[in-house]
Structure 1
Amino acid sequence: MKHFILSLTALCFLTFKVQSQEIELFQQFNGRYNYLAIGNTLNSQENNGNTFCETLEASSAVLTMPSGSTIISAYLYWA
């Protein structure tokens, strides 16, 4: 019985086809470029597992750029 369950479990895992999105180049910039990044959180405290993590309703941050900077592209990453 143990071998049957093990074989059935292995068969289930082997029959699933792994589907993932292909990684491809989105955009390429050649030359001397720099980037600025900014991030923020909606957590009111650190996630340590000992206490309930309460989230804030809003959050803001300020990005300061050097004068004369030219913005080539801007992206939002939400995770």
Structure 2
Amino acid sequence: MSDLYEPELSHSHPSADYVDILKSLLESWRILSLYNLNEAGAIARDYLMNLPDRLICISDRRKVSSEDFNFSWIR
């Protein structure tokens, strides 16, 4: 999870920033407190509430290579 807080590309935000923003929005919009939803609404609410954890898992699996690649045909 240490890579989660490191910038992935120059001039970009680390994945954790986007997860934090999403968590903040979900809390601000009070998505978890929505009830009396139809089936589709409940599925959508559950999907949104699980999304930050899914994004963290994806970020953890992502491999960032620090190696420079040199191709023989490019000079």
Q: TM-score, normalised by structure 1?
A: 0.28
Whichever of the two has the greater Rg, that structure is 1
Question: Larger relative CO (CA 8 A, sep 6+): 1 or 2?
Answer: 2
Q: TM-score, normalised by structure 2?
A: 0.29
More helix by share: 2
